[in-house]
Structure 1
Amino acid sequence: MVDTKTNFEIRPFETLGAANHGWLNAHHHFSFGNYHDAARMNWGAIRVWNDDVIAPQSGFPPHPHADMEIITYVRTGAITHKDSLGNEGRTAAGDVQVMSAGNGIRHAEYNLENEATTLFQIWIMPNRTGGEPSWGAKPFPKNDRSGAWQILASGFDEDNDALPIRTDARVLGATIKAGDSLEYAIGTNRHAYMVPATGAIEIDGHRAQARDGVAIGEGVITITAIEDAEIVLVDSR
């Protein structure tokens, strides 16, 4: 559903690009890999939003990246990261890791658990190319974002409690109880993309199911939870 007057679009989960590799069942909100849709190349600086299900004891072998901010939001299970800088860490459900690829980094992401891991992998284009690569992870207890937005990653200096990214963007999370509402203001010339990890929601009267994507232009939106919902939102230039 596209509302051209308000620059608002709901992208149902079943319309997303898909690739099932056995060990990885991926759905793509934006063009990625063999999935190409000229209307879904990016939303502002947001370039990739993949909804991944990774089978137990499997994962992404070492591979390179450059000039991209890569944010991983773990929904269930856990992901274990290793990279060419010597970083290694396990990020569990509800928590976040950030990799600034900079002038080049190799990394691997493995599900070493005995259950499937589900996550959102989000790529945001950086403000500038090059620079030293980096990686970091941080726990974000869901109770801290009950009925309120919590900034998980940010390119703004004032967001001291968030993981740093090298782009004019924020990644936020919130949980909303059924029947409750939460507002979000999107600034002039900004772009927001939101996905409920769980639960059905309404945005100004438009319904979105769990794992649907919602692309939104500038303005104030009101999100009402039809069911208990866990939401991830990216606000970018």
Structure 2
Amino acid sequence: MKKIIHKSATRGFANHGWLKSHHTFSFASYQNLERMNFGMLRVLNDDVVQPKMGFGTHPHKNMEIISIPISGALSHKDSMENKRSIEVGEVQVMSAGTGITHSEFNDSKMAAVNFLQLWVIPETENVTPYYNQKMFEAAGRKNKFQVLVSPKNKQIEGSLPINQQGYISMIDLDKEFKATYELKNGAYFFLIDGEVSIDNELLEKRDAIGITGTNQVSINATKQSKLLVIDVPMS
């Protein structure tokens, strides 16, 4: 087994006023040769967008982009004529493929939006762009792993498809609950909130651990916790 631990405070940080962003991996002005990716997971940004602000129209190509709101709601508009609001409990997936443009805004006059944005390197380039989003019921992740995203050619019922052999899951853990996660590839565990021990490594809010070279890991919640698991090929 091989482990890599990324404490919350070691992430890159950018403060643009309207946007505060923590970067788990190298992104924009934050460049760290030791933090380029975890296998096919290229970007994990923890973004806070201020009221009535957002990202103007910009392009993407050949990337699987997954957005997960933590608080607030984000308005989305793209070149595929999708115009939607993404809210807490929902997950958004875009296969950028041959190319798309999109914008994201916080329409609230009062509340900031906090969301996670993940970029996964695709299995095949230049696919037809794809978009979808879905509300996932909280009961489906109560002390069990709820699969949010899975490969389009091995899609797990109820999940959203991506163009990669990757799986993204979430679990809401009660204090003292113990769980076992079965790895399909390498797995990157990102603790959204709470406190857990993963393979005897203690993680606090926004800490993460990447694990490879094993079939399963044990998880013990020392506080009520919310955990995101990003299971992706390592090469």
Report the TM-score, using the length of structure 1 for normalisation.
0.94
CA separation in 2, counterparts of 1:95 and 1:85? 19
Deviations 1:47-96 (A, max 9, x none): 00001111111111100000000000111111111001110111111210
Q: Does 1:87 align with 2:82?
A: yes
Aligned to 1:199: 194
Q: Does 1:48 align with 2:24?
A: no
Return the offset for 1:157.
2.5
CA separation in 2, counterparts of 1:95 and 1:181? 26
Q: 1:7 aligns with which of 2, 8, 21?
A: 2
Deviations 1:8-32 (A, max 9, x none): 1221111001101111110011111
Query: How many positions carry a matched residue from both structures?
Result: 230
SS in 1 for 2:59: strand
Aligned to 1:29: 24
Return the offset for 1:120.
0.9
Once the two structures are superposed, the pairs formed by residues 205-224 of structure 1 within 5 Å of their partners are 205-219=200-214, 220-224=216-220
Q: Does 1:145 align with 2:110?
A: no
CA separation in 2, counterparts of 1:177 and 1:25? 30
Aligned to 1:3: none
Letter in 1 for 2:33: A
Kept in 2: contact 1:185–1:218 (CA 8 A): no
Gap regions ≥5 residues in structure 2: none
SS in 2 for 1:67: coil
Moved over 4 A (4+): none
Q: 1:162 aligns with which of 144, 148, 159?
A: 159
Letter in 2 for 1:221: V
Letter in 1 for 2:178: S
Gap regions ≥5 residues in structure 1: 1-5
Return the offset for 1:212.
1.0
Moved more, 171-180 or 113-122: 113-122
CA separation in 1, counterparts of 2:213 and 2:182? 8
Letter in 1 for 2:123: N
Moved more, 84-93 or 156-165: 156-165
Aligned to 1:16: 11
Q: 2:122 aligns with which of 114, 126, 132?
A: 126
CA separation in 1, counterparts of 2:183 and 2:228? 15
Kept in 2: contact 1:56–1:111 (CA 8 A): yes
Q: Does 1:183 align with 2:199?
A: no
Kept in 1: contact 2:155–2:161 (CA 8 A): no
CA separation in 2, counterparts of 1:158 and 1:64? 27
Return the offset for 1:194.
1.4
Letter in 2 for 1:233: V
RMSD, aligned CA: 1.1
Report the TM-score, using the length of structure 2 for normalisation.
0.95
Aligned to 1:78: 73
CA separation in 2, counterparts of 1:16 and 1:105? 28
Kept in 2: contact 1:76–1:94 (CA 8 A): no
CA separation in 2, counterparts of 1:118 and 1:214? 21
